[in-house]
Amino acid sequence: MGPKNQSIHLKREVLVRMVKAFFSEDFKKNVRLIPYDMRPKGSDVTFRCCIYKERAILKDRIIADLGISIEDDDEKTLLSEYAERALQRETPDENVLTILDAACKGCVGGKILVTELCQGCVARPCETACKFGAISIINGKSVIDEKKCRRCKSCIAICPYNAITNITVPCEDACPVGAIHKNEHGSARIDFDKCISCGKCVTQCPFGAVHEKSQLIDIMKNIKNNKKIVALVAPSIAGQLSGTMFQVKSALMKAGFTDVVEVAKGADVTTLNEAKEFDERISKGEQFMTTSCCAGYNELVKKHIPEIQPYVSDTKTPLFYTAEMVKKQMPDAITVFVSPCVAKRSEARNNPQVDYLINFEEIDALLTGLDINLEDCGSSELDNNISRQGRNYGISGGVAAAVKKASDDEDFVKPCYINGINKESIKQLKKYAKDGLCPYGNLIEVMCCEGGCVGGNATIKSVKSAVQEINDFSKDFKDINEIIR
- State residue 158 phi and psi, 5-degree precision: -100, -15
CA pair distance 124, 135, nearest whole angstrom: 10
Q: What single DSSP character describes residue 388?
A: H
pLDDT for 26-39, tens place per residue? 999 999 999 999 99
> Rounded CA gap, 49 and 149, in Å?
35
Could you tell me the end-to-end alpha-carbon distance of the chain, in angstroms, rounded to an integer?
A: 38
Q: What is the DSSP letter of 205?
A: -
Q: What is the pLDDT of residue 213?
A: 95
CB distance 291 to 399 below 8 Å? yes
The strand ranges marked E within 319-410 are 334-339, 356-359
| Nearest partner of 236 among 406, 463, 15, judged by Cα | 463
Torsional class of 125: left (φ above 0), alpha (ψ -120 to 50), beta (otherwise): alpha
CA-CA distance, 198 to 418, in Å (whole number)? 14
Distance CA 234, CA 18 (A): 24
- Position 485 pLDDT exceeds 60: no
Please say if the pLDDT value at position 310 is more than 70. yes
pLDDT, position 94: 81
How far apart CA 297 and CA 422 sit, in angstroms, is: 11
Of 47-61, 342-356, 447-461, which gets the smallest average pLDDT? 47-61
Amino acid identity, position 108: V
pLDDT at 2 (0 to 100): 47
What confidence score (pLDDT) does residue 241 get? 93
Within 13 Å, how many C-alpha atoms sit on residue 417's CB side? 15
- Over residues 421-457, the pLDDT tens digits come to 999 999 999 999 999 999 999 999 999 999 999 999 9
CB 98 within 8 A of CB 213: yes
Contact 343, 197 (CB under 8 A): yes
**Using an 8 Å Cβ cutoff, are 433 and 308 in contact?**
yes
Alpha-carbon distances of 244 from 63, 90, 241, 377, rounded to whole Å: 33, 34, 8, 10
Q: Do the beta carbons of residue 57 and residue 206 sit within 8 Å? A: no
Distance (Å) of CA 274 to CA 265, 268, 404, 426: 15, 10, 10, 23
Per-residue pLDDT tens digits for 368-400: 999 999 989 999 999 999 999 999 999 999 999
Find the DSSP H helices in 350-485: 360-369, 388-391, 398-406, 423-435, 463-474, 480-484
3-state secondary structure at position 175: coil
- Is the predicted pLDDT of residue 313 greater than 90, yes or no? yes
30 half-sphere exposure, CB direction, 13 A CA radius: 14
pLDDT digits (tens, 9 = 90+) for 67-89: 999 988 988 999 999 999 999 99
Q: What is the mean pLDDT of residues 272-289?
A: 96
Provide the pLDDT for residue 198: 95
Q: Would you state the pLDDT for residue 182? A: 84
**DSSP run (H or E) holding 54:** helix 51-65
From CA 474, how far away is CA 264, in angstroms rounded?
11
- Band the pLDDT of 200: cuts 50, 70, 90: very high
| Among the listed residues 469, 255, 250, the one whose alpha carbon sits nearest the alpha carbon of residue 381 | 250
d(CA 100, CA 189): 10
Domains by residue range for the chain, with CATH: 6-103+177-214 (no CATH), 111-167 (3.30.70.20), 219-484 (3.40.950.10)
Band (183; pLDDT cuts 50, 70, 90)? confident
Distances (CA, A) of 245 to 380, 391, 475: 9, 11, 13
Q: What is the mean pLDDT of the chain?
A: 94
Task: Provide the Cα torsion 481, 277, 340, 397; round to 10°.
Answer: 60
Select the more confidently predicted residue: 68 or 49. Answer: 68
**pLDDT tier at 4 (50, 70, 90 boundaries)?**
low
- The residues that bridge with 114 in the sheet, in sequence order, are 164
Strands 180-182 vs 188-190: parallel, antiparallel or unpaired: antiparallel
Residues listed for the chain: 485
